[in-house]
Amino acid sequence: MARVPLGVVGCGGIAKQHQRAWRQVREREPDLVEIVATCDAHRPSAERYADEVAGFQASRPEVYEGVEEMLRAGRVRAADVCTPHHLHHVVALQCLAAGVAVQVEKPSGLTVKATKRMIEEANRRGLVLATAENVRRGPSQRTAWWLLHESGRLGSAQGFCMQRVQHQPPAEPAQAPAWVWRADRTRSAGGWVIDSGAHFMDTVRYLFGDVESVYGCVRDVVPHPMVHDGLRAFDQREDFFAAILQFESGVVGQWARTTVFPGHDWFQCAIYGSRGAIVDPSGDIFHGPRPHAEVRVEGQAPRTLEDIYPEFLASLSPERRERLFPHGFTDGFTLECYDFAQAVATGREVEVSAEDGLRAKAAAFAIYESSLSGQAVRVRDVLDGKVDAYQRWLNEKWGI
């Protein structure tokens, strides 16, 4: 099996996590992948990244400022795309057109239409197109799935309540963060609902199946001023959302977050089966249950997911165990990168395809669409493009 020559496109914040992951993959399987190119519009970022990569593989990657240039050099067979959201489809389509397999960070394309274009191109060319999704792969999320679907300990999945109020008054006016593109809806497509919400939607799809319909309310209640390039601007992302989700499986869920209600911070993060619950004391409403989440079944002492994890592992056949935690990896980034590289090298399918990313994203967009129309929205209609008022202006702006 020839090593997969890989290019990393976008060498910013999350690409550092990917670098750690690629390093781990190479430590355990040096012949699987080699980073031959780094690409960033900000050249010093790509140079620094190449230097760091040279610290754990024999060769230093070539450095590029533009994707066209990287593709023209003809060395990469796979690309790991870690750019801002509005560039996901642009970079992915360029790579796919050049015959290069692609892993794209969540939310895998700016809009539903953008992701569909990517999928069509990948299918036409028979290339791997993966969504970089790390969260569902963690031991606690895998253990939660087992408790709900195989072990029988929690009975059948019923629903969840994941809500958080955490008062964080806006600073006056804050220096724009380095990743200021996020605060611009034209480049990010939205705030929590589509950003960390992409992880949330993937995790709940993993645990409960596809979302059938959504009622959502999204608001920007308090203006969040910031200074960018010496100019005063506003963070355009929502500071309040609340949604009710109905799944095709019959499961129902409540999901909400705000940072603008003063006087009483609180959270509730619980997943319910017919016999008990998984209760997460971390208050994280985006990433599914964490290792310290407690499993509570009537008449039994509470136990953490971390505590139960070895029993889940013991229940797995050697093949399944190797598929879920190859080489004993448990870090979600390492697992997603390994999965992608294996798929490119061997032709097998990835666990989280672009189609999965699309379905998670459509459920998140359904919340914005519902908020705009004031009506409950079927996710199927968002996927089919019948409901697209929220995304239409983004598609028009970027010519999608």
Q: Check binding of 63 to ligand NAD (CB under 6 A).
A: no
Q: Check binding of 43 to ligand NAD (CB under 6 A).
A: no
Q: Check binding of 42 to ligand NAD (CB under 6 A).
A: yes
For residue 262, count CB atoms less than 10 angstroms from its CB and return exposed for 0-12, middle for 13-18, buried for 19 or more.
exposed
* Cα 254 from Cα 158, distance rounded (Å): 12
Percent helix, strand, coil in the chain, to 5, is: 40, 25, 35
Q: Check binding of 370 to ligand NAD (CB under 6 A).
A: no
Q: Check binding of 136 to ligand NAD (CB under 6 A).
A: no
For residue 319, count CB atoms less than 10 angstroms from its CB and return exposed for 0-12, middle for 13-18, buried for 19 or more.
exposed
252-258 and 240-247 strand pairing: antiparallel
240-247 and 224-228 strand pairing: unpaired
- Binding test (CB under 6 A) with ligand NAD, winner from 54, 175, 179, 221: 179
Cβ neighbours around 121 below 10 Å, total: 20
User: Helix (H, G, I), strand (E, B), or coil: what is residue 332?
Assistant: helix
Q: Check binding of 295 to ligand NAD (CB under 6 A).
A: no
Q: Check binding of 134 to ligand NAD (CB under 6 A).
A: yes
Tell the smallest beta-carbon distance from residue 133 to ligand NAD (Å): 7
Q: Return the DSSP state at 135.
A: G
Q: Check binding of 393 to ligand NAD (CB under 6 A).
A: no
Q: Which residue has the tokens 């879920």?
A: 324
Phi-psi domain of 244 (left: phi exceeds 0; alpha: psi -120 through 50; beta: other): beta
Q: With respect to ligand NAD, which residue has the nearer C-beta, 12 or 155?
A: 12
Tell the smallest beta-carbon distance from residue 265 to ligand NAD (Å): 24
Q: Check binding of 316 to ligand NAD (CB under 6 A).
A: no
- Binding test (CB under 6 A) with ligand NAD, winner from 19, 24, 38, 83: 83
Nearest to 31 by CA among 54, 59, 61, 4: 4
Q: Check binding of 280 to ligand NAD (CB under 6 A).
A: no
Q: With respect to ligand NAD, which residue has the nearer C-beta, 62 or 105?
A: 105
User: Helix (H, G, I), strand (E, B), or coil: what is residue 139?
Assistant: helix
Q: Which stretch binds ligand NAD (CB under 6 A): 9-17, 50-58, 337-345, 348-356?
A: 9-17
Q: Which stretch binds ligand NAD (CB under 6 A): 83-91, 211-219, 245-253, 312-320?
A: 83-91
Tell the smallest beta-carbon distance from residue 9 to ligand NAD (Å): 5
Return all residues near 289 (Cβ < 8 A) that are at least 6 apart.
140, 141, 144, 269, 271, 278, 280, 305
- Binding test (CB under 6 A) with ligand NAD, winner from 52, 62, 80, 105: 105
Q: Which stretch binds ligand NAD (CB under 6 A): 77-85, 203-211, 354-362, 380-388?
A: 77-85
What token pair was written down for 89? 């489809």
- Binding test (CB under 6 A) with ligand NAD, winner from 4, 6, 8, 11: 11
Q: Check binding of 45 to ligand NAD (CB under 6 A).
A: yes
Tell the smallest beta-carbon distance from residue 282 to ligand NAD (Å): 16
Q: With respect to ligand NAD, which residue has the nearer C-beta, 191 or 216?
A: 191
What token pair was written down for 372? 């705009």
* Cα 131 from Cα 353, distance rounded (Å): 5
- Binding test (CB under 6 A) with ligand NAD, winner from 84, 159, 197, 273: 84
Q: Where are the beta strands (DSSP E) in the chain?
A: 4-9, 33-39, 62-64, 78-81, 101-105, 129-132, 157-165, 174-175, 211-219, 224-228, 231-235, 240-247, 252-258, 266-273, 276-279, 294-297, 303-304, 377-378
Q: Check binding of 82 to ligand NAD (CB under 6 A).
A: yes
Q: Which stretch binds ligand NAD (CB under 6 A): 7-15, 164-172, 223-231, 383-391?
A: 7-15
Site residues (vs ligand NAD, CB under 6 A):
9-15, 39-42, 45, 67, 82-85, 87, 105-106, 134, 179, 195
